[in-house]
Amino acid sequence: MTLGQKIKEARIERKMTQRDVVGDYITRNMLSKIENDSATPSVKTLEHIAKVLNLPAGYFMSDLTTDDGEPSGITGARKAYKAGNYPAALDMINAVDLAKTSHEDEACLLHAKCCTGIAEQAYHDGDVTRARACARDALKHNAAGLYFDLRCELVCCEILMLCAIQLESQSEYRQYEKRYLAESSKGNIAESFSIIQALFVSGRDGLATGLKLLENIHAENISDPWVRAMYMLLSARAKIEAGDIDGAIKLLETAEIEAGKNGGKLIKSEIYSYLERCHKAKDNFRMAYHYATLRLEI
């Protein structure tokens, strides 16, 4: 059965007209061409149709192959992944019956990379449970296929270490730290790992001990905005402990700018919390209220 036939069959089974399906998203003429296989829908169009029909996008790609025999689900998943739409790509991969193809290794890699992207976003959005589950799934699939991806492995270990810090699980942190160090021996230790280590040690042995791990790192040399924001946040906490509230505010305001680039909700919430605390200490209740409001809005 072709893609167009599957879409038409699903629509008729639900007793829906073409007008019911297209809504304001695409034209009825375009849907007609798609159903007649004279036009190929984009990933976003396929997602729209699937949503209206109450089906996963991957349903339409299962059991379909391209002219060279590649499952259409993998072709669609690759396009969705490149577009940054990791959940849709994952749906398409999961709909493919890999036992009937010779593309299992690429599917494992795509699955791992999609789960990594979802885990990164979930962690930065503050959904530690989902981030942890997706990162573990990514590690499993990354190891299962022929095309092992080192970056995927390291990023997932970092996410799982961060999740372990949030969940206050030292044993889990050590598990993924060991795995990270074993793999990173093949390349350089990332700046992000140094920050994660400092966070863990700060929680276990105190902030001063954690900051000692960052003595050779300078903010202006850090390339990643999230890492810069975390570095400044830790430094600001040290200023607060030393009673230098003005210095802490300056660092936190810079951290807020860096976090705004791609830091996500979790770090922004923590920055706002410390800014609220600092302004309260200076009896500047207007600014304290401002940051309390920003934190609650996240």
pLDDT grade, residue 251 (50/70/90)? very high
- Higher-scoring residue by pLDDT: 230, 56: 230
Give burial (CB, 10 Å; 0-12/13-18/19+) of 218.
Answer: exposed
Residue 71 has a pLDDT of 59
pLDDT digits (tens, 9 = 90+) for 12-60: 988 989 988 888 888 989 989 888 888 877 777 888 888 888 887 667 7
pLDDT of residue 106: 86
* Greater model confidence, 71 or 96: 96
Mean pLDDT of the chain: 87
pLDDT value for 280:
96
Please indicate whether residue 191 or residue 266 has the higher confidence score (pLDDT).
Answer: 266
Best-predicted range by mean pLDDT (17-26, 95-104, 227-236): 227-236
Specify the pLDDT at position 189.
61
- Cβ distance 177 to 160 under 8 Å? no
Distance CA 32, CA 27 (A): 9
136 pLDDT exceeds 90?
Answer: yes
Outline where the chain has alpha helix (H). Answer: 3-13, 18-22, 28-35, 43-52, 72-82, 86-94, 104-124, 128-144, 150-166, 170-184, 191-205, 207-212, 225-241, 245-262, 265-281, 285-297
Query: What is the distance between the alpha carbons of residues 112 and 119, in angstroms, rounded to a whole number?
Result: 10
Distance CA(150)–CA(227), nearest Å, equals 20
Q: How would residue 157 be classed by pLDDT, with cut points 50, 70 and 90?
A: very high
pLDDT number for residue 209? 94
Average pLDDT (105-123) is 93
pLDDT of res. 37: 80
DSSP codes joined into one string, 23-79 = TTTS-HHHHHHHHTTSS---HHHHHHHHHHTT--GGGGTTT-B-TTS-BHHHHHHHH
Q: Are 50 and 73 in contact (CB under 8 A)?
A: no
Global confidence as pTM:
0.75
DSSP 189: P
Q: What is the pLDDT of residues 164-217, one digit of tens each?
A: 999 999 999 999 999 999 887 765 567 789 899 999 999 999 999 999 988 888
Query: What confidence category does residue 67 fall into, taking pLDDT thresholds of 50, 70 and 90?
Result: very low
Q: What is the distance between the alpha carbons of residues 26 and 213, in angstroms, rounded to a whole number?
A: 55
CA distance 268 to 233: 10
pLDDT for 113 beyond 50 = yes
* Separation of alpha carbons 117 and 134, rounded Å: 9
pLDDT for the residue numbered 112: 96
Query: What span, in angstroms and rounded, lies between the C-alpha atoms of 130 and 156?
Result: 13
Report the chain's C-alpha Rg in angstroms: 24
Percent of the chain, pLDDT > 70?
Answer: 90
